[in-house]
């Protein structure tokens, strides 16, 4: 049973106190349903679609870039066009930049104001990404945040923090793990995690043969 009470419109609202903007969003949703513009089923289907995508789209992009250097160059030069090549619709993202990690430079993404995130590529943002603690510490102590995710970088590796906004979103292209030369593209995609595409961790290690 859900812990959110149903209201007069027949759907559920959270029991906890909502922010001003959240209340406006619910009011707009209620009005659209009441006017017949949308149905509750339409809304639920869209939610399920967003959740089902998860980070799978991003994993496909990264794995393909690892095995195809020409595609990687196109992905970095024109991410939206490269997404279209892979059948991924990134049109909803205003501006989109791919940040390639190297042995000497690592990229990390944060949204210091709210939770701007490339949802068509990575699905819904994790709760920790939206938290005030991460948004603050990612800027002042990125290495400390990375260590908490299990990534302890040498001192000679530069860490660059990028602020995601409503105008520009980022995808980190992690380093291909060593020992994956014989991996198929599908197996490589399994090594690409959501967190590695935010930049707080590396991709997973090679799958033992």
pTM (two decimals):
0.77
Mean pLDDT of 123-139: 93
pLDDT at 7: 47
Residue 16 has pLDDT above 50, yes or no: no
The domains found in the chain, sorted by start residue, are 20-51 (no CATH), 55-198 (3.90.330.10)
Q: What is the pLDDT of residues 60-94, one digit of tens each?
A: 999 999 999 999 999 999 999 999 999 998 888 88
What's the number of CA atoms in the CB half-sphere (13 Å) around residue 149? 23
Percent pLDDT > 90 in the chain is: 62
pLDDT at 37: 86
Under DSSP, the state recorded for 207 is P
Average pLDDT over the chain, rounded to whole?
87
128: how many CB neighbours lie within 10 A of its CB? Answer: 15
pLDDT at 24: 83
Catalytic residue set: 111, 114-116
| Euclidean distance between CA atoms 205 and 201, whole angstroms | 11
- Pick from 114, 122, 36: nearest CA to 79: 122
| Euclidean distance between CA atoms 111 and 109, whole angstroms | 7
The 10 Å CB-count burial string (b at 16+, else e) for 146-161 is beebebeeeeeeeeeb
For residues 142 and 150, the answer to whether their CB atoms sit within 8 Å is: no
For residues 86 and 60, the answer to whether their CB atoms sit within 8 Å is: yes
């Amino acid at each position: 049973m859900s812990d959110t009470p149903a209201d007069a419109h027949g759907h559920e609202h959270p029991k906890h106190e909502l922010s001003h903007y959240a209340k406006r969003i619910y009011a707009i949703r209620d009005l659209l349903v009441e006017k017949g513009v949308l149905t509750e089923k339409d809304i639920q289907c869209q939610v399920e679609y967003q959740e089902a995508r998860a980070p799978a789209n991003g994993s496909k992009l990264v794995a393909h870039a690892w095995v195809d250097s020409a595609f990687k160059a196109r992905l970095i030069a024109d991410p939206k066009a490269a997404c279209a090549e892979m059948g991924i619709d990134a049109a909803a993202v205003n501006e989109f930049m791919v940040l390639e990690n190297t042995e000497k430079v690592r990229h990390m993404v944060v949204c210091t104001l709210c939770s701007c995130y490339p949802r068509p590529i990575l699905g819904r943002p994790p709760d920790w990404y939206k938290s005030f603690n991460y948004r603050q510490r990612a800027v002042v102590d990125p290495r400390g945040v990375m260590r908490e995710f299990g990534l302890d970088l040498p001192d000679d590796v530069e860490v660059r923090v990028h602020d995601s906004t409503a105008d520009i979103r980022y995808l980190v292209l992690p380093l291909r793990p060593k020992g994956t030369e014989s991996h198929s593209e599908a197996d490589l995609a399994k090594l690409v995690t959501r967190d590695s595409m935010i930049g707080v961790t590396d991709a997973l290690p090679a799958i033992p043969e």
